[in-house]
Structure 1
């Protein structure tokens, strides 16, 4: 139960810190503020400011791309469901050793069987390729957006607030 409370607290904290910072779609997609940066220094300044300012939106983009990546790879989805479902089923339905046909089957045996089947299945699903696709795709989208959108007038006051 303690682990469930920690996960719940972590999710609440994540929601309060990151997801409360989600900016409105009209502000995020404000095409009037899109322009090409003049030089690398200006692009770096925009990226630095916008990644903090739109951090909630960028986390949401990463989450949506991750869901898309998992759903578009059926073998990866099956492997993840198998492994996560197997862990949940073993913890819920087999906490105590069971005797079947003169053999005692413990949780350790069930976990070994789960790994022997699940890990090769996961390896075939190429999660590393999916991870690097996710990093690349979100990097292109986030860095592209952050460098192209001009910071609002509030960015001028951000340095004043930091010094006070």
Structure 2
């Protein structure tokens, strides 16, 4: 019951902090503000402003890409669930050594078996390529969007307020 309350509190705090920064889809996909930056200085300024302004939307993009990456790599999901489930099962059901015939099975030997099966399975599922795909795809989408979106008129007021 306490775990459910912690999860609920975490979701509420996420909603208050991250999701409050979400901008409306009409503002995020405003095609009237799309233009090519004139030079590298303007592109850098746009990226700097838009990554702060649209941070909630960009976080949602990264989360969506992460879910997509996991759903398309079923072996990675299986390997992670196998390792996490194995740890949980060993900790819950085998805290003490078990006598099976003439053999004594300890928690250490169960962990060794879990690692002998789980680590190669995890390696085959290519978590590093999935991670780097996620980083690359997120960077291209976020930097591309931030670079082509002109900052709104409120960005001029933010510069004046920062200098005061």
TM-score, normalised via structure 2 length: 0.86
Whether 1:149 aligns to 2:149 is yes
Equivalences for 1:2-151 in 2 at 5 Å?
13-151=13-151
In structure 2, do the counterparts of structure 1 residues 110 and 163 end up closer, same or farther at CA, with 3 Å as the change threshold? farther
In structure 2, do the counterparts of structure 1 residues 97 and 44 end up closer, same or farther at CA, with 3 Å as the change threshold? same
Equivalent pairs counted in the alignment come to 164
Structure-1 separation of matches of 2:97 and 2:16: 42
**Aligned-residue offset at 1:17:** 2.5
Cα-Cα RMSD: 2.5
**Aligned-residue offset at 1:82:** 1.1
**SS in structure 2 of the partner of residue 150 of structure 1:** coil
- Structure 1, unaligned runs of 5 or more: none
In structure 2, do the counterparts of structure 1 residues 2 and 163 end up closer, same or farther at CA, with 3 Å as the change threshold? farther
Deviations 1:13-65 (A, max 9, x none): 44433232111111111111111111111110000011111111111111111
Structure-2 separation of matches of 1:7 and 1:46: 36
- Structure 2, unaligned runs of 5 or more: none
TM-score, normalised via structure 1 length: 0.86
